[in-house]
Amino acid sequence: MLCAITHVPSPQLQHCELTFVESEPISIEKAKEQHKNYCAMLERCGVKVIVLDENSVLPDSVFVEDPIVVFDEVAVLTSMGVVSRRAESEYMKKVFSQYRTIERISLPAKIEGGDVLKIGKKIFVGESARTNQEGIQALKTIIKPFGYEVFSVKVTGCLHLKTGATALDEKTIFINSAWVDASDFEGFELIEVPSDEPFGANVLKIGDTLCMNEAFPKSIAVVKTLGYKVDSVNISEFVKAEAGLTCMSVPFICEDISLK
């Protein structure tokens, strides 16, 4: 079974951390409705959705991807690149200790889950505003015994690696090469996102479905033309919080595990 951890939007979402975008008014009521629609999309993809509501005092708590990176063998608590988000990690430890052995990356190593792109046993990690080389090396040390290879990717124009590059399948990357160094994906077919939809490269792959943001119709058209199955949802309020589809859930294999 494929499960996904999500978290309801915090009433404090307006006070979220921003790095590359300017602050805009965020409607919490609209964000809550969009989050419900996002969870419904995951369910259409066959996912068992688990919705948390424990970190609501923390503005960025809806972005559950960043505090933890989950592999089949282990879950890795991240150190987080900004102070305001570090309190999110402890509750994620409590949640995922039901499902995985927990390892932790500690400061001064910095890493966030939004910078970790998993493609089979190849793990690409963005060296970004939130993740440093020490963080990348720390992750490598934890997961190398399980047969994973870790590759560093330079990220210069956006918050996280997956803001500007995600995998359409195990051989194809959808990328904004103005933000992410395309040369770090040697051997992959690279599909460039339309230049007037720079955030369109953030795609959430669930099974054989690619989940995309309705705000980027040209990007959706490109992916559909390539023959992929696409589902889409409106996440406009979360885009104002510098987020994409991948930020808002942690999908993981949960067979034979009693959900609590």
Residue positions annotated with a catalytic role: 160, 247
Q: Is the separation of the CB atoms in 259 and 35 below 8 Å?
A: no
DSSP letter at 114 equals G
CA angle 193, 198, 200 (to 5 degrees): 60
Q: How many CB atoms lie within 10 A of CB 233?
A: 21
Alpha-carbon span 227 to 209, nearest angstrom: 11
Of 252, 208, 203, 207, which is closest to residue 232 (Cα–Cα)?
203
Q: In this structure, are strands 102-104 and 75-77 parallel, antiparallel, or unpaired?
A: parallel
DSSP letter at 239 equals H
DSSP letter at 72 equals S
DSSP letter at 159 equals S
Strand arrangement of the beta sheet that strand 116-119 belongs to: 116-119, 122-127, 149-154
